[in-house]
């Protein structure tokens, strides 16, 4: 074989090798982008989890309000993070500002890694959503919009630049002799949850408790304000537990490098275990204290455990999840108790879950991480100086996160308070935000009941049609307002509460309601004109005038 042929074959093989290398690189980029987007989609579903959890934890008169806020938070965060947030967090910058915040790629100009942007955007939306639970049922809508914009566009991006950008001062840490120490926070125990928890307690303190939450001296009432739907709250908790698997597992940022898949799997396993240990620890302690097995607080404890897992779920062995999880459950218990002792009204325990879980997560990784203090006690190959300095740096970074979050948010909320738009009026708060602010009741009165007993005795087709039309048109009216519409057609009671028309004839008792004419000159114990009466514990029926 001639030298020319050999040279041609060699050149061809080199070209094919380069082409294959290029295809592999493209394939790796596609795999990583698809993985990030897939994880981000699951994390985005956490907004639904927050919505259900918060909707179930508030009273029915504020359900529409809290649902709209959770919807808007993900949308507002999208615009805020696209326009400003990404640039501050990851935009290239130079000079003295480089360790503090980014300075380019505003409105994504010049940015090409859209998969990373999408993944980081859903994190920003999560950080902003945490606060809505702490100020539920009383915050003004304009204040909600303002803090959603500021947190997703400025406060949170600055922290992610500090902790996750290659130029950030927390990430780069410091050098001491031959020891190099940097910030450890794999999935956001600090930059996401400690930030959100810090702002939550500040906002709840500045806005004040809900009316009746902490009765003043001489006032009656227990002060307990319960949510309206345990199933809603439980469903939201399940969705958040599911979302945390992607929240932590997806924080590898890629999937194509050797061994990364197992790291993602380890992060997910530790997330489940931390949540389980936290939930069980809290549930048993609560039972010993109150004799009750609680579901709502157990859900919160589980979430606190998963929050704590965020910091070191990629470097913990599975046995260490027990320490992180149990510590998170106790941390949630303690910080929720502190909040209650200070008479700060936090309806969702956002402070206990996110501050308590986030703070403990940053600390626990220094003990149970693969180079942590507990390993150093038994493994002399681990430098205890390194582990100790890591703990010190984690505490410094946690303090920096708290000071920045609280300081920036305090200025924002103080301005809103001076403008008198921080909190709704007492009348609106007592009556509910749904109707006054949105004109949409979450549970319209006229959407309930079957209506057969109202018109059963009406035989005339024309009158019957008019009755049906009048009843259907009275949407969102109170019982008193609805009474004049249906009173002419509610003639019988149904003591057995038969709900289906084919069974209505089986009711044991049908008695005609006696007409009642109240004295128009008195307002004592007499039933007022157009009021509602309940006969024989049957369905509510109006009094005919």
pLDDT of residue 486: 45
**Predicted confidence (pLDDT) at residue 519 exceeds the cutoff of 70:** no
pLDDT at 35: 96
**Ranked by mean pLDDT, which of 157-166, 445-454, 492-501, 514-523 comes out on top?**
157-166
What pLDDT, on a 0 to 100 scale, did the predictor assign at position 542? 41
pLDDT of residue 473: 54
Give the Cα separation of 282 and 329 in Å (integer). Answer: 5
Tens of pLDDT, residue by residue over 171-230, are 999 988 888 999 999 999 999 999 999 999 999 999 999 998 988 766 655 678 999 999
Please state the rounded mean pLDDT for residues 256-263: 94
pLDDT, position 525: 41
CA 256 – CA 316 distance, rounded (Å): 22
Counting beta carbons within 10 angstroms of the beta carbon of residue 163, is it exposed (0 to 12), middle (13 to 18) or buried (19 or more)? buried
The DSSP bridge partners found for residue 419 are: none
For the chain, which domains are there? 53-438 (1.10.3430.10), 450-538 (no CATH)
**What are the CA-CA distances from residue 365 to residues 183, 327, 431 (Å)?**
11, 12, 47
In 3-state terms, what secondary structure has residue 187?
coil
What mean pLDDT is predicted for residues 411-419?
Answer: 97
pTM of this structure: 0.82
3 state SS for 468-499? HHHHHHCCCCCHHHHHHHHHHHCCCCCCCCCC
Mean model confidence pLDDT for the chain: 85
DSSP state of 521: T
347 falls in which pLDDT band (50, 70, 90)? very high
How high is the pLDDT of residue 216?
76
H helix or E strand, kind and range, residue 181: strand 179-181
Cβ(299)–Cβ(351) below 8 Å: no
CA proximity to 472, closest of 492, 447, 497, 503: 447
Give yes or no for residue 267 having a pLDDT over 90.
Answer: yes
Which whole number is the average pLDDT over 51-62? 95
pLDDT of residue 446: 66
């Amino acid at each position: 074989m001639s030298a020319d042929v050999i040279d041609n074959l060699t050149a061809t093989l080199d070209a094919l090798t380069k082409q294959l290398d290029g295809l592999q690189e493209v394939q790796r980029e596609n795999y990583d982008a698809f993985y990030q987007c897939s994880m981000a989609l699951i994390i985005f579903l956490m907004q639904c989890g927050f919505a259900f959890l918060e909707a179930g934890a508030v009273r029915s008169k504020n359900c529409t309000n809290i649902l709209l806020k959770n919807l808007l938070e993900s949308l507002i965060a999208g615009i805020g993070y696209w326009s400003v947030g990404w640039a501050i967090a990851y935009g290239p910058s130079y000079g003295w500002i480089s360790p503090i915040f980014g300075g380019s790629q505003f409105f994504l100009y010049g940015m090409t890694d859209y998969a990373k942007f999408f993944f980081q955007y859903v994190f920003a939306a999560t950080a902003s959503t945490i606060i809505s639970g702490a100020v539920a049922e009383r915050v003004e809508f304009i204040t909600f919009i303002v803090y959603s914009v500021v947190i997703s566009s400025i406060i949170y991006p600055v922290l992610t630049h500090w902790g996750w950008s290659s130029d950030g001062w927390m990430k780069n840490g410091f050098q001491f002799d031959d020891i190099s120490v940097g910030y450890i926070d794999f999935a956001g125990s600090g930059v996401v949850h400690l930030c959100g928890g810090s702002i939550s307690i500040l906002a709840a303190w500045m806005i004040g408790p809900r009316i009746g939450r902490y009765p003043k001296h001489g006032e009656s009432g227990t002060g307990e304000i319960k949510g309206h739907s345990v199933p809603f709250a439980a469903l939201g908790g399940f969705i958040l537990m599911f979302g945390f698997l992607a929240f932590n597992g997806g924080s590898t940022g890629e999937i194509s490098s050797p061994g990364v898949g197992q790291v993602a799997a380890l992060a997910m396993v530790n997330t489940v275990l931390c949540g389980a240990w936290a939930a069980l620890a809290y549930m048993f302690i609560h039972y010993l204290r109150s004799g009750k097995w609680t579901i709502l607080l157990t859900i919160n404890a589980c979430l606190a455990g998963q929050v704590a897992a965020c910091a070191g779920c990629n470097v913990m062995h599975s046995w260490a999840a027990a320490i992180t999880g149990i510590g998170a459950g106790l941390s949630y218990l303690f910080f929720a108790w502190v909040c209650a002792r200070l008479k700060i009204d936090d309806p969702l325990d956002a402070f206990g879950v996110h501050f308590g879980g986030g703070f403990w997560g940053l600390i626990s990784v220094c003990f149970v991480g693969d180079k942590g203090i507990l390993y150093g006690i038994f493994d002399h190959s681990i430098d205890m100086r390194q582990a100790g300095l890591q703990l010190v740096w984690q505490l410094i970074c946690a303090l920096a996160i708290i000071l920045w979050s609280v300081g920036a948010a305090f200025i924002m909320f103080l301005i809103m308070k001076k403008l008198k738009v921080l909190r709704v009026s007492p009348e609106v708060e007592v009556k509910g935000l749904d109707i006054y602010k949105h004109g949409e009741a979450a549970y319209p009165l006229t959407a309930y009941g079957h209506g057969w007993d109202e018109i059963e005795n009406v035989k005339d087709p024309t009158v019957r049609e008019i009755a049906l039309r009048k009843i259907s048109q009275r949407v969102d009216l109170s019982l008193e307002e609805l009474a004049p519409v249906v009173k002419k057609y509610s003639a019988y009671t149904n003591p057995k509460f038969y709900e289906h028309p084919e069974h209505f004839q089986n009711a044991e008792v049908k008695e005609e309601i006696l007409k009642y004419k109240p004295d128009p000159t008195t307002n004592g114990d007499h039933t007022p004109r157009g009021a509602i009466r309940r006969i024989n514990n049957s369905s509510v029926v109006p009094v005919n005038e």
